[in-house]
Structure 1
Amino acid sequence: MSNEKEQAVTAEMLANQQLLQTEEITLSDDIIVSFLEENPEFFNRQPQLVTSLRLHDNQRGTVSLVERQQQQLRQKVHGLEEEITQLMAIANQNEQLFALYSDLYLRLLDCHSADELLDCLYQATTELLSLSDFKLWLNQPVTLAHSCLIDKDCGGVLQNRLTKDEYYFGRIQQSEQELVFSEQCEGSVVLIKLVHHQQVIGFLAISSKDAEHFDPRMDTLLLSQFRKLVAKLLYQHLFVA
C-alpha cells in the first residue's frame, strides 16, 4: 500500500509539472511593469529594442520609444515653462500690489480728518484698484456725514458674516446687499471687520463686478495690515476727543 501511494503521488507531481510547463502564462501590465522596475538594466542588455519598438501615437502615427521619451520630456519642459511664467506674472502682480498699498499707507497717514480719510480710501478702492464700491459701517453713531458711510443698521450683517472671522469673501444675500450698498451687487464682495484695542468698531465693505474676484482662498497678509491701520486711524479721527 505504501509503494502504491508513493507511485500515485509521484505520478501526480509529474503531471502537475508537465501542466506547468505547457500552460501559457498570461502577462499583465502589472507583471511587465514590476519586471522592468526590478530589472533596470533590461534595455542595456537589449539595446536594439530601444529603436525597434514602435509605439502608437494619436498625432504622429507610430513612433519609437526614444521619440516617445523625447516627446514626453518636451511636454514636461513646456509645462514647467508655463508654470514659471504664471509664477512670474503672480510675483509681478504682487509687487505692484505691495507698492500700491505702501503708497496708500503714506497717504492715509497724511490725512487730517475722517472725511479726508474716507475720500482717500474710496479713491484708492475705485480708481487705483478698479473695484466697484467702498462702504463703511460703524457700530456707534458719529457726527460725520459722508457718502461712504452706511446709515442703515448692519449689526445683523456683522453678526452673520464676521462673528468668528476677520474677513468674509464671496457673495452676500440680496437683503444684505441692499443694506450695505443700497443696491444689488452682481459680483463678489469682501467684508473686513475693524477692531481697535480689542473693540469692534464696524466693518468695511468693498464690491467687485467680477463674481470670482473676492474668493475665500485669497491671501490676507496685506489686508491684515490694511485693516489694522484703517481701524486705528478711524478710531483716532472719530472717537478720540
Structure 2
Amino acid sequence: MSSQPEPTPDYPQIEQNLIEYLNNHPDFFDRHPELLTKLELPHNNGNTVSLIERQVAVLREQAEQDRQKLEEFVAIARENELLNERLHRLTVKLIECCDFEEVINTLQDLLHDDFRAEAVELHLYSASAMEHASNPDLDGFRDFLDGNRPRCGRLPAERLEYLFGPQAEDIASTALIPIRGEGLLGVLAIGSHSEHRFHPGMGTDYLIRLGEIVSKTLEVVSEPGS
C-alpha cells in the first residue's frame, strides 16, 4: 500500500495570512515580547540583528531622511523670504522713479545687486508694433510676447546679441520677462554668466511679479526721450 506524499505547504499564503494578522493585531508583540529578542534579521553586512535593533536602525534612517527634507524646506522658505524682501525693496524704489531713465537705472542697480544679474536690458516697443509682421525687432520674440509668460534658459547667439549687445558673448543663461502696459510692450532681459542660474525648470512666480511691477511703473513715467 503506497503512502500519499505530504502536501507542500502554501508558504506565500501562510506569509500573507501572517501579514494580515499582524496588521490587524499591532499589539501582538506587546503580548509576546519574548519573540522580539528571538527574531533575527539579516543585515547588509551579513550579520544578524534582533528585530528591535533593525527597527531602531530603520527609524534612525527615516529620521535622517526627514531631517534632510526639513532642512531643504527651511532653506527654500528662507530664500523665498529674502526674495520677497528684495521684490518689496525694488517696488518701493520704482515707485519713487519719476522718468524712464530712473526706472532703467533702478532696475540695473537693484537687479545687479539683489538678484545677482550680470546683465540687465529693457527693450520697449509701441503696442502697435505687434501688428506689423515686417518689424525686424520683434523677430524671435512674437511668440514669447503673445504667451505673456517669463521664459528661462539659453538663447541663440543672434538673440543674445540683440538683447545684450557687447555683453552677449559672456551670457550663458537668460531670464526673459514680458512687459505689457497701456500703449507699450517689451522684453526685460536678465543675463547671467552661469549656465545654471536661469533654466527652463525653475519657478517663475517672482519673475511674473517683477514683470507686473515694471509694467505698471512704465505706464506712469514719461516715455524715453520725452
TM-score bracket, normalised by the shorter chain, equals 0.7 to 0.9
Q: Which of 180, 189, 193 is equivalent to 1:195?
A: 180
Offset of 1:86 from its aligned partner? 1.4
Pairwise CA RMSD = 2.8
Matched, 1:229 2:213: yes
Contact 2:160-2:171 at 8 Å conserved across structures: no
Matched, 1:172 2:155: yes
Alignment partners' CA distance in 1, 2:159 and 2:118: 16
Aligned sequence identity (%): 26
List runs of 5+ in structure 2 lacking aligned partners: 128-134
Compute the TM-score of the two structures, normalised by the length of structure 1.
0.75
1:186 Cα deviation from its structure 2 partner: 4.8
Deviations 1:141-171 (A, max 9, x none): 9xxxxxxxxxx95402321433224211111
How far apart in 2 are the matches of 1:196 and 1:39?
66
Question: For 1:13-45, what per-residue CA distance to the aligned partner results, in whole angstroms no more than 9, with x for missing partners?
Answer: xx9xx55xx1222524x7524531234445456
Q: Deviations over 1:192-215 (max 9, x none)?
A: 111113x55111010122323223
SS of the equivalent of 1:172 reads coil
Structure 1 runs not aligned, ≥5 long = 1-14, 142-151
Higher mean alpha-carbon deviation, 97-106 vs 220-229, is at 220-229
Are 2:6 and 1:32 equivalent residues in the alignment?
no
Indicate how the Cα distance of structure 1 residues 157 and 47 shifts in structure 2: closer, same or farther if over 3 A, else same: same
Q: 2:81 aligned with 1:95, yes or no?
A: yes
Seen in structure 2, the aligned counterparts of structure 1 residues 153 and 32 have a Cα distance that, compared at 3 Å, is same
Q: 2:62 aligns with which of 60, 69, 76?
A: 76
- Counterpart CA distance in 1 for 2:14 and 2:194 is 52
2:122 pairs with 1:136: yes
Q: 1:59 to 1:187 in 2, by over 3 A?
A: farther
SS in structure 2 of the partner of residue 201 of structure 1: strand
1:123-142: CA deviation from partner (whole Å, max 9, x where unpaired)? 1111222211111111249x
- Residues 103-182 of structure 1: pairs in structure 2 closer than 5 A: 103-140=89-126, 153-182=136-165
Kindly tell me: are residues 51 and 140 of structure 1, through their superposed partners in 2, closer, same or farther at Cα, counting changes over 3 Å?
same
Q: Hey, what's the Cα distance between the residues in 1 that align with 2:51 and 2:19?
A: 15
Query: Using a 3 Å threshold, how does the CA distance of structure 1 residues 214 and 31 change in structure 2: closer, same or farther?
Result: farther
1:53–1:65 CA contact under 8 A, matched in 2? yes
* Structure 1 segments of 4+ aligned residues over 4 angstroms from their partners: 42-46
Q: Is the Cα–Cα contact under 8 Å of residues 196 and 231 in structure 1 kept in the other structure? A: yes
Q: TM-score, normalised by structure 2?
A: 0.80
* Inter-partner Cα distance in structure 2 for 1:70 and 1:60: 18
- Structure with greater contact order relative to length (CA < 8 Å, sep ≥ 6): 2
Task: Specify the code of the residue in structure 1 equivalent to 2:40.
Answer: R
SS of corresponding position for 1:67: helix
Q: Determine if contact 2:150/2:207 at 8 Å carries over to the other structure.
A: no
Are the aligned partners of 2:154 and 2:199 in contact in 1 as well (CA < 8 Å)?
no
Q: Distance in 1 between matches of 2:91 and 2:213?
A: 8
1:65 and 1:76 map into 2 onto residues whose CA distance is 16
